[in-house]
């Protein structure tokens, strides 16, 4: 068991945070963006970037080659749908995707919109962590959070 501190300051003890999140054991600020029998999409508001989505499997596994055929098909379909919604509803031109298999949480894809302000951290993969940290440390204010929640609501509306 590991103790994890959530965005709202609460701590939970879980075996796997992704299992806790996708299983509904943890209440998410802003709620669930999308959910079906295979996948669960939400925003991690600890990183308050409007339109950021984390797409996690419901099943507990870690690697891309462990996806079943049904999950594979749904996965691509969903990534496309989320991307389309980000573009049409939120005007997001570019997105960075990040996924690693040596994670303590199970299979999940970070879908991170690319904004102008992120250019100060460079481009491509090296800019990702500094941009996320900047959002977490400098953008955690009421006005931005309102924007983040609105974005979640817009995405949920078109995805469900």
What residue ranges bind Zn ion (CB under 5 A)?
16, 18-19, 60, 106
The CB-of-18 to Zn ion minimum distance in angstroms stands at 4
Q: Which is nearer to Zn ion, 16 or 41 (CB)?
A: 16
The CB-of-38 to Zn ion minimum distance in angstroms stands at 14
Where does residue 124 fall: left (phi above 0), alpha (psi -120 to 50 degrees), or beta otherwise? Answer: left
Q: Which is nearer to Zn ion, 14 or 145 (CB)?
A: 14
The CB-of-106 to Zn ion minimum distance in angstroms stands at 3
Q: Which is nearer to Zn ion, 19 or 112 (CB)?
A: 19
């Amino acid at each position: 068991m590991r103790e994890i501190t959530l965005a709202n300051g609460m701590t939970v003890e879980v075996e796997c945070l992704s299992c806790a999140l996708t299983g509904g054991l943890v209440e998410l600020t802003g709620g669930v963006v999308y959910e079906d029998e295979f996948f669960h999409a939400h925003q991690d508001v600890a990183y308050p970037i409007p339109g950021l989505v984390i797409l996690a499997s419901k099943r507990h596994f870690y690697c891309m080659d462990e996806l079943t055929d049904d999950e594979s098909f749904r996965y691509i379909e969903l990534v496309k749908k989320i991307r389309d919604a980000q573009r049409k509803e939120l005007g997001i031109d570019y997105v960075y995707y990040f996924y690693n298999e040596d994670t303590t949480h199970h299979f999940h894809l970070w879908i991170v919109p690319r904004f102008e302000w992120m250019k100060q951290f460079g481009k491509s993969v090296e800019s990702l962590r500094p941009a996320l940290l900047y959002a977490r440390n400098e953008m955690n204010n009421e006005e931005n959070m309102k924007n983040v929640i609105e974005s979640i609501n817009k995405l949920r509306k078109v995805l469900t």
